[in-house]
Amino acid sequence: MHYIVFDLEWNQSKTGLEKETKEIPFEIIEIGAVSVENGKITGEFDMLINPGRQLSSFITGLTGITDAMLENALTIQEALPHFLEFVGEDILLGHHLSFDYSFLKKNIVNIRGNFERLGMDTLKIARKALPGLESYSLSSLCGHYHIKNVHAHRACDDARATVELYFCLKEECYGKGIDSLFAPKQLICRVKKESPITDAQVK
């Protein structure tokens, strides 16, 4: 099976939400992805994105990405065609895939694009396969499986860590009654151009 594992990094306020408008005031500042075929990484995509405004100190501290690093980077509108070319029509894999997919798709819709894909989510798999863990964040699950992710919160490194996490989950749990979670499913996300999120998404 051939699939694309991707991750996004964001510029956002520390709270990440403007309650007055219910809009999330953050923009994509990095897209990282790797292609996987027959259990091996066969390609890599890593691109910084200029969000058009200054990064918050929280995000710089978290990711190590600075304003200087983004000064000459492409905008999201300029970068997305390159990402779509890398992805092609492949299956997607991610950690909390529905979240990143929804905002990526919204940006693609904003440039009049289409992004309907099948996908697999390591977060959903881990919650079912490993009940009782204190946290199901990518960093916590990497710790659980002793996966080294030296540059956590950088998109391509997190994508590579997600690949390793998927391999670990499949090796430990496939054939134990949850095999359907490892099967790609249609990603359902209906977005409109520049639409605010719903109350359910806020919660």
Distance, in Å, from the CA atom of 160 to the CA atom of 82, rounded to the nearest integer, reads 19
Angle between helix axes 155-173 and 122-129 (nearest 10 degrees) is: 40
DSSP conformation letters of 150-190: TTTTSHHHHHHHHHHHHHHHHHHHTTSS-GGGGS-EE----
H or E segment to which residue 59 belongs:
helix 57-63
Nearest to 202 by CA among 4, 22, 60: 22
Query: Catalytic residue at 146?
Result: no
Q: Is 132 exposed, middle or buried (0-12, 13-18, 19+ CB in 10 A)?
A: exposed
CB 196 within 8 A of CB 22: yes
C-alpha of 25 from chain center: 17
Distance, in Å, from the CA atom of 69 to the CA atom of 51, rounded to the nearest integer, reads 12
Selecting among 82, 95, 144, 153, the annotated active-site residue is: 153
Provide the annotated active-site residues: 153
